[in-house]
Structure 1
Amino acid sequence: MNYCNIKNFDIANGYGVRVSLFVSGCTNACKGCFQPETWDFEYGNPFTKNTEDEILKIMDEDFIDGLTLLGGDPFEPANQKALIGFLKRVRKERPSKNIWAFTGFTYEELKTDGSYARTEVTDEMLDLINVLIDGRFEEDKKDIRLQFRGSSNQRLIDMNLTRDSGEIILWEDPIKSIL
């Protein structure tokens, strides 16, 4: 797997201060995508153990809330297989940090046997994630007022509550809930 960027102190792609990994490769090719260069699976640099080490070192900072995966698409089948070991490592070595992931695939597509995006590691990958932002970017539903997503069809799914309840539960912004 290749990646095109690592943002060390990102506040735009998830709650709090995050390390964001932008992976390469996406077959969704959404019209109006803000990073079409990331559709190419060969774009950027190889994701190696040194890359993992670099990300984990940045995550040592107390003010870093977690890791965000986006791209490209981390749920492209080839990317899932490359990321699963890293996500396990993050959970083991940085258990207090949360993990967010963006995907153009819907949660339902990821859970449906036989769908393009479902692999032998999809469920395990979903189990390691705290928040999943799902759905393709739809240019006609673009709304710059939305938090952490580009179009109104996209959902912020609280994966912990979704796993516990067995049904999709949307993520609630903790700041909004106290206002």
Structure 2
Amino acid sequence: MNYHKYHSLDVINGPGTRVSLFVAGCEHHCRGCFNQSTLSPTSGIPVTQALVEQIIIDLQDSRIPRRGLSLSGGDPLHPANLDGILDIVTQVKAACPDKDIWMWSGYSYEQLSDKQRRIVAMIDVLVDGKFEQELKDPSLKFRGSSNQRIINIQTL
């Protein structure tokens, strides 16, 4: 699995201060996508165990407390990303059980495959649905268009 950006401090992609990973690979090709450079799963650079360890170190840093991890892209639930995302989520949950995990995906919750659902069951919040240019609404928090939903997975 590849990624394009890692932010050790982020206050935009989810509530509170967070760490954010933007992965490569998206098959939705939404018109108006703000992150088109991440569409190809072979773009970016490989995620390494050292990066996953850095994510955990940053999440555990008491000098700048972070609320959690945000996974975006691209699409974390792209088929090429599933094994890598599962590994990251598993390691983060084990090392940082008090941190939340937010994920953005162009797939709707109802469309998810069994493997995607196993991953989503381990996170806290899924922002689902393709970005739709004609439904764009800059006033929405944590999503770009009104069709996208913020789903608290732990209450399903």
TM-score range, shorter chain: over 0.9
Q: Which secondary structure does the structure 1 equivalent of 2:58 belong to? A: helix
Cα displacement string for residues 138-171 of structure 1 (whole angstroms, at most 9, x for unaligned residues): 0000000000000000000010111xxxxxxxxx
Q: Report the equivalent of 1:41.
A: 41
**Aligned Cα root-mean-square deviation (Å):** 0.9
Give 1:14's aligned amino acid: G
Unaligned segments of structure 1, at least 5 residues: 111-117, 163-179
* Displacement of 1:77: 1.3
Unaligned segments of structure 2, at least 5 residues: none
Q: Which secondary structure does the structure 2 equivalent of 1:146 belong to? A: coil
User: What is the alpha-carbon distance in structure 2 between the residues aligned to residue 48 and residue 141 of structure 1?
Assistant: 37
Alignment length (residue pairs): 154
Which of residues 77, 80, 95 is equivalent to 1:78?
Answer: 80
User: What is the alpha-carbon distance in structure 2 between the residues aligned to residue 54 and residue 67 of structure 1?
Assistant: 12
Q: Which secondary structure does the structure 1 equivalent of 2:138 belong to? A: coil
Q: Report the equivalent of 2:155.
A: 161
* Displacement of 1:68: 0.5
Question: Could you list the runs of 4 or more consecutive aligned residues of structure 1 that deviate by over 4 angstroms after TM superposition?
Answer: none
* Displacement of 1:94: 0.5
Which of residues 43, 48, 67 is equivalent to 2:69?
Answer: 67
Cα displacement string for residues 81-104 of structure 1 (whole angstroms, at most 9, x for unaligned residues): 211022111111001000000000
Q: Report the equivalent of 1:99.
A: 101
User: What is the alpha-carbon distance in structure 2 between the residues aligned to residue 130 and residue 6 of structure 1?
Assistant: 20
Q: Report the equivalent of 2:89.
A: 87
Q: What are the equivalent positions in structure 2 for 1:90-169 lying under 5 Å apart?
A: 90-110=92-112, 118-119=113-114, 121-162=115-156
Aligned residues of 2:20 and 2:70 also touching (Cα < 8 A)? yes
Q: Report the equivalent of 1:55.
A: 55
Pairing 1:12–2:7 present: no
Between 1 and 2, higher relative CO (CA 8 Å, sep ≥ 6) is seen in 2
Q: Which secondary structure does the structure 1 equivalent of 2:142 belong to? A: coil
User: What is the alpha-carbon distance in structure 2 between the residues aligned to residue 60 and residue 23 of structure 1?
Assistant: 22
Cα displacement string for residues 68-121 of structure 1 (whole angstroms, at most 9, x for unaligned residues): 1000000011201211022111111001000000000000001xxxxxxx25x3
* Displacement of 1:123: 2.5
User: What is the alpha-carbon distance in structure 1 between the residues aligned to residue 122 and residue 105 of structure 2?
Assistant: 15
Percent sequence identity over aligned pairs: 40
Residues 23-32 or 79-88, more deviating = 79-88
User: What is the alpha-carbon distance in structure 2 between the residues aligned to residue 92 and residue 19 of structure 1?
Assistant: 17
